[in-house]
Amino acid sequence: MTQDSTSKSRQEPRDLRIGLFVTCLVDLMRPSIGFAAVKLLEDAGCRVEAPSQTCCGQPAFNSGDRATTRAIAEQVIEAFRGYDYVVAPSGSCAGMIKAHYPELFDDDPNWRPKAEELAARTYELTSFLVDVLGVTKVGAAFEGEVTYHDSCSGLRELGVKSQPRTLLSSVQGLTLVEMTDSDVCCGFGGTFAVKYGDISAAIVEAKEKNIEATGAPTLLAGDLGCLMNMAGKLTRDGKPVAVRHVAEVLAGMTDEPPIGAAKPQAAT
Amino acid sequence: MSVHSTSPQFKENAARALSDTQLQRALGNVKQGFIDKRRKAVENLPEFEALRDSARDIKNHTLRHLDLYLEAYEAKVKASGGQVHFARDAEEARAIVLSLCREANARTVTKGKSMIAEEIGINEHLEANGVTPIETDLGEYIIQLRHELPSHIIAPAVHLNASQVEQDFRRVHKDLDPNRDLSQPVQLLTEARTVLRERFLAADVGITGANFLVAETGTSVIVTNEGNGDLTQILPKTHIVLASIEKVVPTLEDVSQILRVLARSATGQEMSVYTTFSTGPRRSSDADGPENYHVVLIDNGRSAMLGTSFEEMLRCIRCGACMNHCPIYHAVGGHAYGWVYPGPMGAVLTPSLIGVDQAGHLPNASTFCGRCESVCPVRIPLPKLMRHWRDREFEHHLSPATFRSGLAFWGFFAKRPALYRLVTRAAMASLGWAGRSKGRFNWLPLAKGWTKSRDFPAPQGETFQARWKRERGNNA
Ligand code: SF4
């Protein structure tokens, strides 16, 4: 039997039970990203649940507050027990669970194995789709050029680089225009962006130039923190670039206004 | 601690750096040159990643047996006719160097590039005691004329442009023709060469640093591109090597392993132009070399790092790759860090050496983008070590009170999911409503640092968890 690449990429429903780690930013700021992630996972044949959750604890972890981080991490470990996989639409939060939870419980023989077990089945969304499920195609269409920013944690802690590009290349009508230094930090860094606002602003300014230089009217990335930073800079400077999470485009859910843009006024 | 630190004023330093257009232009060059050159060098060496592992392993092994290797090294130096002096701190090191200079009746001392010399502030000390130190590395020479610290560990004057250097040369080289043409960089180089040539010949003592000390042979190794290090250590009667204790490695084979990652990481060269091995004073059969060979082995805080989570920092081979790839360094340059060591390596090392109460900003001023760790030839987990400093600051209540209470407030809710859902649901609804017409805020309380130069996107209004519950009931 011969198989062409199209039939090879088609997913059989696997009935995997996925715990969606929504991430606090998506939960609070832009739930549509979470629903786009749900659609992508369900389209691939997974069953998705979203257990009660708050945050991965990264803000406390990066501020040196280990006690609070551990309390939050224990909560996450408990909440996501028993799922086949835990998937987050964020390299940063998935990286926190995958790379840092085991380190956090380094000296705790009770929690360390649980942290490692959770880490082993936790994935960033696009890498889960491509690396675990073998998805190479999505059914979406998006007309025009986009450019893609590689968020740092996903890129360097989890090796997320080719996966979003693989999926984007299957979106009908979409052309990816790479920016210079797509793998260089946008200057977000969580509380860094507030505590060292001037430095953060200088870094995002350099990013803005690289985005603009592509001429693409749409900027995508896989982490809402970085996206809010870049969108905030672009809107402040009046640059007409629409900023979205990559999942929104991959799921074909681009009805919501872009990040930082106003809702179109209702007709009545 | 020796050199005065402005690390506590990091924010002010950074603000000044950000508005210094000349500096910003100079920093643009760091971004371009070093990164491209390193990438090409790495691409040309398929075993580069494996060599990084082996460099890390060599350093780790040595650190675990540091006392043994230091003893072995000392014995070999003595056997080859040299002397080793141990200095616990900067003050002891300065006193030893000064007394060696006095023994040699030194009036002028030539110096090769050495970061530990900067760290212990040897130039000021010698000068204050009637001995004139002359930097012979071009970059170091320039910043010595300007009374500045290096702004980069391998390119000390990278923050300057040629016209600034021209002005300094005209100011200092008074006996040269005031109408000479110095418009080309090569003319500056030639002038520095000519001036320094006389200094080399007149110097009574030569001081160099060391990239490696070899326990097997008692050899010190320097890696340079200008050849000034060789003239510094060969011409004068006395050669003093300044080195911190973690520079020792077991064998020559180990040196050659690490050399393969050092220059590639630093400048993208396969090897630097000069790699010079010196073992003891001149033997009767040698064509040249110093009559006296001294090594000052300096601890200055290193041994206290052994056995702690900061031990890994002692692997550092001072290649500069971490700062070359650092977005913070690119934005503010080296002087903003306020002490001898800038960039990510400085953000970890400086608090160890001058105290986290002094240098607390440095490990905090990082986005944890991880690019430094991804290029470090000895695989130092720099972000993790910066985070360890943040842990200590938090433990010792050194982080700002407003920040701590904000964090505690957030943590209170983050630990209580039901309450969190309730509160965030209401908060996001009102924030979403407030931002609905524009889709963003150009001002928010407590986020001035953000909104000064960026908008803050408004939330969509309903939280994910609320909408999920509404649409799907509980989890279904
Ligand atoms: S920390 Fe690593 S990258 Fe930075 S200077 Fe040291 S060896 Fe080089």
Percent of chain A with pLDDT over 70: 93
Closest CA to B141 of B107, B110, B119: B110
Sequence letter at residue A133: L
Q: Does pLDDT of A190 surpass 60?
A: yes
Which residue has its alpha carbon closest to ligand 1 atom 8? B319
Closest CA to B452 of A28, A211, A193, A227: A193
Q: What residues have CB less than 8 Å from B344, skipping those under 6 apart?
A: B322, B323, B326, B329, B366, B372, B382, B383, B386
Enter the CATH code of domain B7-160+204-303.
3.40.50.10420
Per-residue model confidence (pLDDT) at position B68: 98
Q: Does pLDDT of A6 surpass 50?
A: no
> For the residues B58-84, what does the mean pLDDT come to?
98
Per-residue model confidence (pLDDT) at position A265: 66
Sequence letter at residue A58: Q
**Segments of B98-165 assigned E as strands:** 108-111, 132-135
For B58, B307, B340, the CA distances from B351, given in Å and listed in that order, are 25, 17, 12
Per-residue model confidence (pLDDT) at position B145: 95
SS3 B25: helix
Check A65 against B411: CB less than 8 A apart.
yes
Q: Does pLDDT of B270 surpass 80?
A: yes
CA B322 – ligand 1 centroid, Å: 5
Lowest mean pLDDT of A11-15, A253-257, B407-411, name the range: A11-15
Structural domains of chain A, ranges and CATH numbers in brackets: 5-131 (3.40.50), 136-250 (3.40.50)
Residue B470: burial class (beta carbons within 10 Å; 0-12, 13-18, 19+): exposed
Q: Does pLDDT of A136 surpass 50?
A: yes
Check A260 against B457: CB less than 8 A apart.
yes
Please give the mean pLDDT across all residues of chain A: 93
Nearest-10 Cα torsion for A21, A26, A32, A38: -10
Per-residue model confidence (pLDDT) at position A14: 64
CA B344 – ligand 1 centroid, Å: 8
Interface of A with B in 46-75 (CB under 8 A): 49-55, 57, 59-66, 68, 71-72, 75
Report the distance separating Cα B119 and Cα B91, nearest Å. 11
By the 8 A CB rule, do A180 and A209 touch? no
Per-residue model confidence (pLDDT) at position B474: 60
Report the distance separating Cα B451 and Cα A232, nearest Å. 8
Q: How far is CA B174 from the centre of its chain?
A: 34
Q: Pocket around ligand 1: residues whose beta carbon is below 6 Å from it? A: B 316-322, 345, 376-378, 380
Report chain A residues whose CB lies below 8 A from the CB of B450: 193-194, 197, 200, 232
Per-residue model confidence (pLDDT) at position A8: 40
Q: Does pLDDT of B3 surpass 90?
A: no
Per-residue model confidence (pLDDT) at position B2: 61
Check A34 against B395: CB less than 8 A apart.
no
Give yes or no for B409 touching A (CB within 8 A): no
Q: Does pLDDT of A264 surpass 90?
A: no
Per-residue model confidence (pLDDT) at position A266: 55
Give me the residue spans of the domains in chain B.
Answer: 7-160+204-303, 410-475
Report chain B residues whose CB lies below 8 A from the CB of A261: 439-440
Give yes or no for B86 touching A (CB within 8 A): no
Give exposure, B194-232, as e/b (b: 16+ Cβ within 10 Å): ebbeebbeebbbbbbbbbbbbbbbbbbbbbbbbebbbbb
Q: What is the ipTM of this complex?
A: 0.93
Nearest-10 Cα torsion for B222, B228, B234, B238: -90
Q: What is the DSSP letter of A57?
A: S
Q: What is the DSSP letter of B279?
A: -
Q: What is the DSSP letter of A238?
A: T
Q: Does pLDDT of A24 surpass 70?
A: yes
> For the residues A42-54, what does the mean pLDDT come to?
96
Report the distance separating Cα B42 and Cα A68, nearest Å. 41
> For the residues B307-321, what does the mean pLDDT come to?
97
Report the distance separating Cα A140 and Cα A252, nearest Å. 5
Sequence letter at residue A254: T
Per-residue model confidence (pLDDT) at position B209: 97
Q: Does pLDDT of A13 surpass 50?
A: no
Residue B107 CB coordination number (10 Å): 13
Per-residue model confidence (pLDDT) at position A3: 41
pLDDT tens digits, B80-129 = 999 999 999 999 999 999 999 999 999 999 999 999 999 999 999 999 99
Over the Cα atoms of chain A, what is R_g?
A: 19
SS3 A182: coil
Of A26, A157, A199, the CB nearest to B464: A26
Please give the mean pLDDT across all residues of chain B: 95
The angle at the Cα of B229, spanning B227 to B233, to the nearest 5 degrees, equals 125
Nearest-10 Cα torsion for B250, B251, B253, B259: 60
**Segments of A10-75 assigned E as strands:** 17-20, 47-49
By the 8 A CB rule, do A112 and A102 touch? yes
Confidence of residue B29 (pLDDT cuts 50, 70, 90): confident
pTM of the model: 0.94
By the 8 A CB rule, do B365 and B347 touch? yes
Q: Any bridge partners for residue B33, and if so which?
A: none
CA B88 – ligand 1 centroid, Å: 24
Per-residue model confidence (pLDDT) at position A15: 79
SS3 B260: helix
